[in-house]
Amino acid sequence: MYLLGEQSALADALINRLQNLPAQWLEGLESCGPALELEATEDLMSQLPGDQLFLLTEGVITGYIGTRALFYWQEGDFIGLLRGDDWGDSRLCSDGPLRLTPYRRSDVLQHLFADTNRAEQFIQYVLGQMALLAHAVAELKPREFRSTNGFKRVEAGEILIHQDDAADHVFVIIDGHAEAFVDGQKVGEVPKDEIFGAMAVFTGEPRNATVIARERSTVMLIPADHFLSMTRSNPKIAHSLIESMARRIGQLNRQIIQLSANKE
């Protein structure tokens, strides 16, 4: 198994170690029939008997999980282990012809566990495949969703943002409510699920308002650089931010209208 795209040195070393294992632990076991020769296919597993495993001797197979290609197999890899209900969202495809040597699944397992060394090699192979999949998922997982954000529990009256401070975080109220003040004058509400503190992060200027929790609240803090990356790579977050700013502008416009009316 090889990973698509760039991969770490650790993954490279693991791939090289695993590549020759199947041929070693299949040595001495007779295939259960002639080699299968298949053309390009969008769903390889649907063409393969469920009671057999296969040594890939020619061609390249691309593995998908959901709609995303994660890995590919070349000559020497063992095919058929990733099947069953637990792998219902996986799919194996090929853009060219394939040649597969078939082995009856029960014969393979009996052959492997009849010898301690072969059994150990097989376990190493399966664990290695799992580790490679973990590497692939870790590389494709967006960085903004890794465990870099923090959560803070605040009491009513606690200041979340100080006006004129430097902007190093963006905030989201997970549970609770807050209020925004400029020069001591209330200018808006900050309800649950609202993103706030983003404007100063975008402009690089000091905070233009103070935000105070109106009740006991839970707040998520997102580092400024991570938030900027999120808005570039995740349209949903950008859309939510635009909605939040539009509501805030609407609140300010209503206050301006009210103040103008009071002066008259």
The predicted pLDDT at position 257 comes to: 61
Domains of the chain plus CATH, in order, are 2-141 (2.60.120.10), 150-263 (2.60.120.10)
The predicted pLDDT at position 234 comes to: 59
Whether 246 and 199 have beta carbons less than 8 Å apart is answered as no
Q: Which one-letter DSSP state was computed for residue 40?
A: -
Q: For every one of its 264 residues, what pLDDT tens digit does the chain have, with 9 covering 90 and above?
A: 555 555 566 667 777 778 778 888 888 899 999 999 999 988 888 888 888 999 999 998 888 877 777 778 888 888 887 766 666 677 888 888 999 999 999 999 899 889 888 888 888 888 777 777 776 666 655 444 443 457 788 899 999 999 999 988 888 888 899 998 988 888 888 888 777 888 888 888 889 889 999 999 988 888 888 777 766 665 565 555 666 665 665 665 566 566 566 665
The predicted pLDDT at position 203 comes to: 82
- Exposure b/e, 4-27, CB count within 10 A at least 16 = b: eeebeeebeebbeebbebbeebbe
Task: Record the pTM.
Answer: 0.50
How do 210-213 and 159-161 pair as beta strands? antiparallel
